[in-house]
Amino acid sequence: MKLIITGGRQSESSLSYFNKEWSNGICGVIYEYDSEDKTLVEKVNYQTPLKFRPKKNFSISFKSGSIFNNKLYITSLTEVLVYTLPNYKLEERISLKIFNDLHHVIRYNNDIFIVITGLDIVARYSLSKKKILCVYNCFPEIDTWNRFDKQKDYRKINTTKPHLCHPNHVTIHDDKLFITRYKQQDVLVYSLEGKIIDTIILNEGIPHDGSIFNNKLIYTVVNGKIIEINKNNLKETKIINLNKFEKKGRSLGWCRGFQQLDDKNYVGFSRIRPTKFIENVKWLGNKLTNEVKLKKPTRLVCYNKNYSKILKEINLEKLGINWVFSILKY
C-alpha cells in the first residue's frame, strides 16, 4: 500500500512566506509515499491554465481529493482533475464558472461532490449528464444566490473572502453528507436530497478533513487534535490531542490530512504563515511576538496505533511540499 500526499509549492521568494494564501502557490504537487521502502516520490507537478484562473496575483495548489476505482479525483482552486492510477495520467478536467477556492472532491456512485469554499457551498455534479444536480448551502441562513451571481465567472476572482462558513471537506456515509465548517467549528449533515438533518458540534477548534474507518468518523482539527465520532449515533467517542508531543507553548502547525495504514496513523502538518497565524491567534493562544511558534516545518508524522508514540517524521519542505491538504491510501 502507498500513501498519496496532495498539496502545493510556494514561490522561492523570501517574501512569499508573508503573502496572502490566494497569491502564494506556484504549482500543485502530488507525492507518493511507499510505506515499505520509505521512498517519497513526486508524481505530479501541475499549473492551472490561464483559461481557468485569474490573470494576476493568483495561486496554484492542489487541495483535497479522493480515490475511486483506481482514479484520483483532486481539486485545484478552480478545477476538478481526474488522474488514472498508478500512472497519474490526466484523464479529465471539470471547471465551471462557480468554481472558486475548491477544497475537496469525492465521488459517490456516479456523481462527484465538490466543496466550493469560495461560495460556501457543496455541489453535486453528474459525471454522465455533465451538469450540477444539487447545491447544498453551507450557510443556510442566507440564500446562496442572494449572495452570489450565477452569471459571474468566479474562477477569475482571486478571493471571495470573508466567507460566512468556509466549508472544508465532505464525507459521505449512509446517503448523508458530513460537511466540516471552519467558522462554525462543526459538521453540517445533509441528506442527498438537500435537506439539513443534523449539526455535530465539535467544540475542539476548527475541523478540516474527515475520513471513515470502521465505525468511526475521524476529523482533523487544525490546532492539533483528532476527533473520533461514532458514525451510528454521531456522538463524540474520543479526542486525541497531539500537542502532548510538543514543547509547551509551541504550535504543531496547521493539522490537516489524515490516514491509517498498517496499524499506524499518518497526520499532515503545514507550516503556519504569519498571515494565517494572525487570523487564527485565538485558537493558537499565543503572542505574535514569539516567533518560535511559527518554526515547525510542513511535515508528515507517523504515530503508532494508539497515538502514544511518534514513529517517524518526514520534513516535506525539503522535497518542495509547502502545505499538505490530503493523505490518501492506494
CATH numeric code, 2-329: 2.130.10.10
Q: In what order do the strands lie in the sheet with 236-241?
A: 207-213, 216-221, 225-230, 236-241
Q: 473572502: which residue's cell? A: 161
Do residues 272 and 252 make contact, with C-beta atoms less than 8 angstroms apart? Answer: no
Task: For the chain, give the longest Cα–Cα distance.
Answer: 54
Whole-angstrom Cα distance, residue 292 to residue 290? 6
**Long-range residue pairs from 283-287, CB within 8 A, at least 24 positions apart, any chain:** 283/205, 283/206, 283/222, 283/223, 284/223, 284/251, 286/249, 286/251
pLDDT tens digits for the chain (330 residues)? 899 999 999 987 544 555 555 457 999 999 999 999 999 999 999 999 999 999 998 999 999 999 999 999 999 999 999 999 999 999 999 999 999 999 999 999 999 999 999 999 999 999 999 999 999 999 999 999 999 999 999 999 999 999 999 999 999 999 999 999 999 999 999 999 999 999 999 989 999 999 999 889 999 999 999 999 999 899 878 999 999 998 776 789 999 999 999 999 999 999 986 655 444 545 444 444 454 445 789 999 999 999 999 999 999 999 999 999 999 999
Q: Can you give the residue ranges of every domain in the chain?
A: 2-329
Per-residue confidence (pLDDT) for residue 296, from 0 to 100: 87
The region, left, alpha or beta by phi > 0 then psi within -120 to 50, assigned to residue 136 is beta
Q: In what order do the strands lie in the sheet with 121-126?
A: 102-108, 111-116, 121-126, 131-137
The residue whose grid cell reads 459517490 is: 108
Give the DSSP H/E element, type plus range, for residue 35: none
188 has which bridge partners?
179, 199
| Type and span of the H or E element at 278 | helix 274-279
